[in-house]
Amino acid sequence: MASVNGVQTNIPINTADNWKPDSWRSKPIKQCPEYPDIKALHKATAELDQLPPIVHPHEIEKLKQSLKEVAEGKAFLLQGGDCAELFDYCRQDAIESKLKLLLQMSLVLIRGTNRKVVRIGRMAGQYAKPRSSPMETVDGKQVPSFRGDILNGFDLSERELDPQRLVKAYSYSAATLNCIRAAISSGIADLHRPMNWELGHVQDERLKAKYSESVGFLTEALRFMRTIGADKARNLETVDIYTSHEGLLLEYEQSLTRLLAVPRYPAEGETQKFEYYDTSAHFIWIGDRTRQIDHAHVEFIRGIANPIGVKVGPTTPTSDLLELLRTINPSREVGKVTLITRYGAAKVRELLPAHIRAVESSEYRGTVIWQCDPMHGNTRSVSSGIKTRRFDDIFSELQETLAVHKEEGSYLGGMHLELTGDAVTECMGGSQNLDEGDLSTNYTSHCDPRLNEKQALEMAFLVADHYLEERKVDGTVQDQQ
């Protein structure tokens, strides 16, 4: 028996055995906030329980179909956005600048990879961040660590955990996603007008010329399609942008997990099936700190129908990978799990081959998406104590990962970047040649450093160039003509 909208029913449910949205509570848990006022927490989660879903199962299932194509090598996954969103980022200019950047990067990658690009933003819900310690030292004083706007505020006067922020996070997520949808429906992504995406922020003439060349290529292709009458397709005027965040705060994720009908028409005589969807986002991932197989976070994600990401790093035993896959995806659904590798540029060749071989020599061969996160393993502090990343290290990890996958006969299906559409100065290097002295110019992140709009676009060009050169060697560049 299951309950749908409070009514007991015998409907079939596609979910893990003995799993319920709250079964994670019986497991040990890491990164769990200890709210001082449990009554206030229950009041906030009860309010969330009654609110409508932020995303719809139809959208989640549509993403799953696209991710299946990524796993099969027919598409490329671009995932990017802020390290930790702030409620203050819920502004039209901030949202649209990230959206435009993801669209620009995907245009470049489409030309380079000769594949469709699936776009997922670290947006509309990335409000929680894992921390090494619940306390930190600020100006010689021990204070609670900033754990993301969904839990507490960055200002020292707001460091106490506040359950009402869970409800605020819902509101800001819904408003952000509404702005994304409105921008797309208003034509921001219309490929008939690619030059409307504005290049004013790209000052480097070489970079601007390369982007303009890509836009010119697309314009010529569209002109040809128009000539033969093949340009009427709706998908030339709009794109799909999906949302994602780390499923860190299980109180929030549980409240937004709903038993809903799988959005498809049953065959004649077949009963409509229901599954549990986490409606807080389309795509949920678990991090390096919370992927313990017998712990709460894995217990939670094994039961939801959403596509799942798992961070894989230097501390991931090879033996854990298969156990994780068998726990999260026992039916071996293609594209269900994305393995997001993050080693650090110097460790890719040491660690990645064994992880690839473990998966690709098992029953999970061809079912997972391999994605590179070249950001988290390359964080360092400069002499002033500021955290930063070097552009060359980030690209080096991408290059090494691409090379290893080619050597192992597997497919790197995507990249996962922390980025912003603003002109921040948080990562060193790139065509701007930012150095240590530039970091304080516009360093606004409260967590990890992000690529600015110029560095992110340049990264897309470098990855696209890699694929173009590879295709020239293979003799397949003419596929685009």
Domains within the chain, CATH numbers bracketed: 41-264+271-476 (3.20.20.70)
Maximum distance among all Cα pairs of the chain, rounded to whole angstroms? 70
Give residue 1's pLDDT: 46
> Given the structure tokens 């040649």, which residue do they identify?
433
Residue 473: other Cβ atoms inside 10 A:
9
Binding residues for phosphoenolpyruvate: 122, 311, 342
Give residue 279's pLDDT: 98
Give residue 480's pLDDT: 43
Dig out the tokens for 194 from the structure.
């690619």
Taking alpha carbons only, the member of 17, 32, 78 closest to residue 369 is: 78
Give residue 48's pLDDT: 98
Binding residues for Mn(2+): 83, 376, 418, 448
Q: In angstroms, what CA-CA distances link 135 with 11, 131, 143, 157, 193?
A: 47, 9, 6, 14, 50
Give residue 14's pLDDT: 59
Taking alpha carbons only, the member of 126, 130, 131 closest to residue 169 is: 126
pTM here is: 0.92
Residue 283: beta bridge partners? 244
Cα separation, 408 vs 349, in Å, equals: 11
pLDDT by position in tens, the chain (length 481): 455 544 445 555 656 678 999 999 999 999 999 999 999 999 999 999 999 999 999 999 999 999 999 999 999 999 999 999 999 999 999 999 999 899 889 988 988 899 999 999 999 999 999 998 889 988 889 999 999 999 999 999 999 999 999 999 999 999 999 999 999 988 887 665 554 445 555 567 777 777 677 767 766 776 776 676 655 555 555 689 999 999 999 999 999 999 999 997 666 677 889 999 999 999 999 999 999 999 999 999 999 999 999 999 999 999 999 999 999 999 999 999 999 999 999 999 999 999 999 999 999 999 999 999 999 999 999 998 899 999 999 999 999 999 999 999 999 999 999 999 999 999 999 988 899 999 999 999 999 999 999 899 889 988 998 888 888 777 766 544 3
Give residue 39's pLDDT: 98
Binding residues: 83, 122, 311, 342, 376, 418, 448
Give residue 6's pLDDT: 47
HEC assignment per residue over the chain: CEEECCEEECCCECCCCCCCCCHHHHCCCCCCCCCCCHHHHHHHHHHHHHCCCCCCHHHHHHHHHHHHHHHCCCEEEEEEECCCCCHHHCCHHHHHHHHHHHHHHHHHHHHHHCCEEEEEEECCCCCCCCCCCCEEEECCEEEECCCCCCCCCCCHHHCCCCCHHHHHHHHHHHHHHHHHHHHHHCCCCCCCCHHHHCCCCCCCHHHHHHHHHHHHHHHHHHHHHHHCCCCCCHHHCCCCEEEEEECCCHHHHHHCEEEEECCCCCCCCCCCCEEEEECCCCEEEECCCCCCCCCHHHHHHCCCCCCEEEEECCCCCHHHHHHHHHHHCCCCCCCCEEEEECCCHHHHHHHHHHHHHHHHCCCCCCCCEEEECCCHHHEEECCCCCEEEEHHHHHHHHHHHHHHHHHHCCCEEEEEEEECCCCCCCEEECCCCECHHHHHHCCCCCCCCCECHHHHHHHHHHHHHHHHHHHHHHCCHHHHC
Give residue 433's pLDDT: 87
Give residue 468's pLDDT: 83
